[in-house]
Amino acid sequence: DTAVSQTPKYLVTQMGNDKSIKCEQNLGHDTMYWYKQDSKKFLKIMFSYNNKELIINETVPNRFSPKSPDKAHLNLHINSLELGDSAVYFCASSRPGRRSTEAFFGQGTRLTVV
């Protein structure tokens, strides 16, 4: 069983469109994250959710919005896509705080905006 799964794996879309990436974890973790990896492989955290509450919200454009219908899911909605949004987006999960020693990542979603 895949611990953290993302769909789709690849997403090609035109500028101005709205798209969503789905993420599900079956590890029973309380905290989920979205990371962005740019073309230079730099990993930057975008959001994290703990028990359905946003606890970290980095300075990302408000076109990006995380949505968590339940503890096992954290979806990423992106409005009015721009060329600069092209990147690989990773979902991850972990247990919160001191009980956590590892973040488990999904396989990534390669988003290409044309």
Contact footprint for another protein (CB under 8 A)? 4, 31, 40-45, 48, 55-56, 90, 92, 94-108
Evaluate whether 43 touches 88 at the Cβ level (below 8 Å): no
Q: Return the number of the residue (15 or 43) whose C-beta is nearest another protein.
A: 43
Give the shortest CB-58-to-another protein separation in angstroms: 11
For residue 69, the minimal CB distance to another protein (Å) is 22
With beta carbons less than 8 A apart as the criterion, state whether 76 and 64 touch: yes
The answer to whether 96 and 32 have CB atoms below 8 angstroms apart is: no
User: To the nearest whole angstrom, how small is the minimum distance from the Cβ of residue 93 to another protein?
Assistant: 9
Q: 18, 77 in Cβ contact below 8 A? A: yes
Tell me whether residue 68 or residue 94 sits nearer to another protein (CB atom). 94
**Are the C-beta atoms of residues 91 and 22 closer than 8 Å to each other?**
no
Residue number, 109 or 113, with CB nearest to another protein: 109
